[in-house]
Amino acid sequence: AQKVTQAQTEISVVEKEDVTLDCVYETRDTTYYLFWYKQPPSGELVFLIRRNSFDEQNEISGRYSWNFQKSTSSFNFTITASQVVDSAVYFCALSVNRDDKIIFGKGTRLHILP
Amino acid sequence: EAQVTQNPRYLITVTGKKLTVTCSQNMNHEYMSWYRQDPGLGLRQIYYSMNVEVTDKGDVPEGYKVSRKEKRNFPLILESPSPNQTSLYFCASSIPGLAGFTDTQYFGPGTRLTVL
């Protein structure tokens, strides 16, 4: 069965610090997608990134970066020089080839303190 | 503007009174899905649809029905709502991805439902 674990329920950091959100996934499938979504206090869900299982290249987008490691089944998300606007709940999710469901982790609530 | 819309955004109702939450997308996406979000439980999939007239159960389908008569619409029906269905509901749509399965999902703004 597929599973996504976000072990960090809640994290607080001071503005300008770097912070890493962990995501560990479980699947026996060799073809899958991984996602990160952001849910700000306003409540909407905002897509951040998609990674397919054949592409282990790390990705950087401005202050955001993602580290995909199949060896440890992890897809961690780092925010560099955090800002108050980064305060949100962040969800990691998994979609596998033979199953059209998408499995979400329980989310990590990130507080960036001014 | 590409978007997923849901109506109503907020609803307070009473136990047993049938209700429908509508979901519509203008991106010609084949895949649509409904989720509920509850504190501490994250998002859980209720139902999904791979295309018109094709629907399937997600992880928590009990007490819900869906239909997919047109590609753009995917309504969620609660025939007899109960208080444990009080939740925040999200509709999503998606393009087909690698090997045809689910790619990036675009979410609606959410519907906050309270069942008294």
Q: Find the mean pLDDT for residues B26-50.
A: 91
Summarize chain B as % helix, strand, coil (round to 5): 5, 55, 40
User: Locate tokens 């199949």: which residue?
Assistant: A70
B104·A100 Cβ contact <8 A: no
Contact B72, B26 (CB under 8 A): yes
User: How far is the C-alpha of A6 from the C-alpha of A103, rounded, in Å?
Assistant: 12
Distance, in Å, from the CA atom of B42 to the CA atom of B65, rounded to the nearest integer, reads 21
| B38 pLDDT more than 90 | yes
Dihedral pair phi/psi, residue A112, rounded to 5°: -105, 115
Query: Contacts of residue B42 in chain A, CB cutoff 8 Å?
Result: 91, 104-107
| Residue A25 DSSP one-character state | E
Q: Could you give all domains of chain A from N- to C-terminal order, each with its CATH number?
A: 3-113 (2.60.40.10)
Instruction: Give A26 to chain B, closest Cα distance, Å.
Output: 17
Report the chain B residue with the minimal C-alpha distance to residue A108. B42
What amino acid occupies position A9? T
Q: Is B104 in the A-facing interface, judged by CB distances under 8 Å? A: yes
Question: Is B41 an interface residue toward A (CB < 8 Å)?
Answer: yes
> What are A7-65's pLDDT values in tens digits?
999 999 999 999 999 999 999 988 888 999 999 999 999 888 888 888 888 888 899 99
The answer to whether B47 faces chain A, any CB pair under 8 Å, is no
Query: B54-113 pLDDT, tens per residue?
Result: 999 988 999 999 999 999 999 999 999 999 999 999 999 987 654 444 557 789 999 999
Residues of B in contact with A105 (CB under 8 A): 42
